[in-house]
Structure 1
Amino acid sequence: MKIAICIKQVPDSWAEKKMAAGVLDRANVDAVLNDLDEYAVEEGLRIVEANSPTKEAGEGSGHSITLISMGPERATEAIRKALSMGADDAILISDAALAGSDALSTSLVLAEVIKKGNYDLVICGTESTDARMSVVPAMIAERLNWAQLTFAGKVKVDPAAASVEIERVTEFGNQVMNAKFPVVLSVVEKINEPRYPSFKGIMAAKKKVITTMSLSDTGLAATAVGASAAWSAVKDALPRPARGAGVKLTDEGSGGEKLFDFLVEKRLA
């Protein structure tokens, strides 16, 4: 079974973010592996471990896990972390022409790379913390004409039957879905608890292969990606205003009334 896991390097959620020329300034902020992608990596490892004769991922398991990421060269930092968790190898698509790509362009590039890998299963986190759109997994599936099983809270893979079954929570209750390989799967953060990379895993990750591809390697033209091909653009952005001082009420026996009046004024009561 060949598994691909799509991951992304994103600005640290706790860092102050700024816009530059209509896009998020990524160069001047700390960057990390997208939190929600860690759950995808963990689930991929668990799937391999559950179906491996050695009960471990990696060499001897009979299965492989390849990470796929699109981003600048520094994205290798996030890739190395995911490799240290236990993935086998990785592909980084990095090209200046990709800067400013939207979800449509990103899904196009990822789909083209996935096509070349003959994968049985592609796993994604539900969304990236820098965009919060939750659309890329479905877009990849549509471009590949594969089945999509999204927002999975539980996953069961049967390699012998070449099938995947998931359970997910919807507004109408729990829903069970299944599909035959090849499948694009997205997982929610409650599905598991990502492992911490071991010292052995960190050292092994330094030797694992990261194949870098340019845009031309994917067979796509520069006009199909980047800011010029994006279907939306940020025209203006303002920093979040500073938090104003609160209202201080002195209770001289009528504090409750003053609080009630304040809530009424703010239409909260």
Structure 2
Amino acid sequence: MKVLVAVKRVVDYNVKVRAKADGTDVDIANAKMSMNPFDEIAVEEAVRLQEAGKASEVVVVSLGVSACQDTIRTALAMGADRGVLVETNTELQPLAVAKLLKAVVDKEQPQLIILGKQAIDDDANQTGQMLAALLGCAQGTFASKVEVGDGTVSVTREIDGGLETVALTLPAVVTTDLRLNEPRYVKLPNIMKAKKKPLDVLSPEALGVDISPRLKTLKVEEPPKRSAGIKVADAAELVAKLKAAQVL
């Protein structure tokens, strides 16, 4: 079974981002970049499936600028076999990402596609669902447990009411949640080995995909600063203030 994992290069989760002075975008100049944490979980799950003898090959794909190769190399150091970069300088929105991934899936023919449930930069939570719809295959989102069987995959999903387990027929798309696993620490020898693993570079044009943006960002601004809190003498005063503020 071949597993394809999509990874995204994002601003590191420890970095506090700021809006540009002109409000056109987020300022990421000189910011530390890393693999999207949910995608890191997806890579870990794919590698664990391979280590358990459930997967024969793990292919990692990323979309974006040339620097995304660093993100792919990180996934290769975690244990993936080879990488694919669809290189473009155009802003990629969820639908364009899903279309590009579909083109890569059509080329690679994996039985299982694993993605993070969302990226921490745009928090869209759309690509996995769009990809499954474009492929016309089963999907299991927000996975906290994945078990692969003979031509099937069982996915335990985190939902508002608790947990839901769905049985999917392969090929299928699975998106990962935080509680699925804990990604391994990448050791230096594996980082060195990853430099020798194959990495193919494609273009959207070669895949025949139109990635023109459908949405336009009007303005980016930081949330307003919170005002100072106040103390109340008792519960009655608290209720009165809440009623005055029309919270109750």
TM-score calculated relative to the size of structure 1: 0.81
In structure 2, the partner of 1:73 is 66
User: Is structure 2 residue 187 aligned with structure 1 residue 204?
Assistant: no
2:216 is aligned to 233
Provide the rounded CA distance (Å) in 1 between the counterparts of 2:186 and 2:201. Answer: 23
Q: CA deviation at 1:239?
A: 2.9
SS of aligned partner of 1:176: strand
Alignment of 1:139-150 (within 5 A): 139-150=130-141
Aligned counterpart, 1:165: 154
- Number of paired residues? 243
Decide whether aligned partners of structure 1 residues 25 and 247 sit closer, same or farther in structure 2, where only a CA change above 3 A counts: closer
Larger Rg belongs to: 1
Contact 1:17 1:29 in 2 (8 A): no
Relative to structure 1, the CA distance from residue 66 to residue 27 in structure 2 (aligned partners, 3 Å threshold; closer, same or farther) is: farther
Corresponding residue for 2:19? 18
Residue-by-residue CA offset, 1:55-114 (whole Å, 9 max, x unaligned): xxxxxxx71101011111111122221111111111111123xx2221111111111111
Deviation at 1:6, TM superposition (A): 0.5
SS at match of 1:110: helix
Q: Is the 8 A contact 2:23 2:220 kept in 1?
A: no
How far the C-alpha of 1:12 sits from its partner, in A, is: 2.0
Amino acid of the structure 2 residue aligned with 1:77 = D
CA contact (8 A) 2:11 2:34 kept: yes
Amino acid at match of 1:205: A
Distance 1:105 1:25 in 2: 23
Higher mean C-alpha deviation, range 117-126 or range 205-214: 205-214
Distance 1:169 1:248 in 2: 37
Q: Give 1:91's aligned residue.
A: 84
CA contact (8 A) 1:15 1:29 kept: no
- Which residues of 2 match residues 182-261 of structure 1 at below 5 A? 182-220=171-209, 224-227=210-213, 230=214, 232-244=215-227, 246=228, 256=233, 261=237
Give the superposed CA RMSD: 2.4
The aligned counterpart of 1:136 is 127
Distance in 1 (CA, whole Å) between partners of 2:98 and 2:221 is 29
Q: State the AA in 2 paired with 1:68.
A: V
1:39 maps to 41
What's the offset of the Cα at 1:145? Answer: 1.3
Pick aligned residue for 1:180 from 147, 169, 177: 169
* SS of residue in 2 equivalent to 1:113: helix
Quick one: distance in 2 between partners of 1:237 and 1:174?
A: 36
Q: Quote the offset at 1:241 in angstroms.
A: 3.5
| Matching residue within 115, 118, 125 for 2:116 | 125
Instruction: Report the alpha carbon displacement of residue 172 of structure 1 after superposing the two structures with TM.
Output: 3.6
Describe the shift of the 1:264–1:32 C-alpha distance in structure 2 as closer, same or farther (beyond 3 A): farther
Q: Distance in 2 between matches of 1:23 and 1:113?
A: 29
Letter in 2 for 1:46: R
Q: Quote the sequence identity (%).
A: 28
Q: Is the 8 A contact 2:23 2:221 kept in 1?
A: no
* Cα 1:238/1:21, change in 2 over 3 Å: closer
The 8 Å contact of residues 69 and 91 in structure 1, kept in 2 or not, is answered as yes
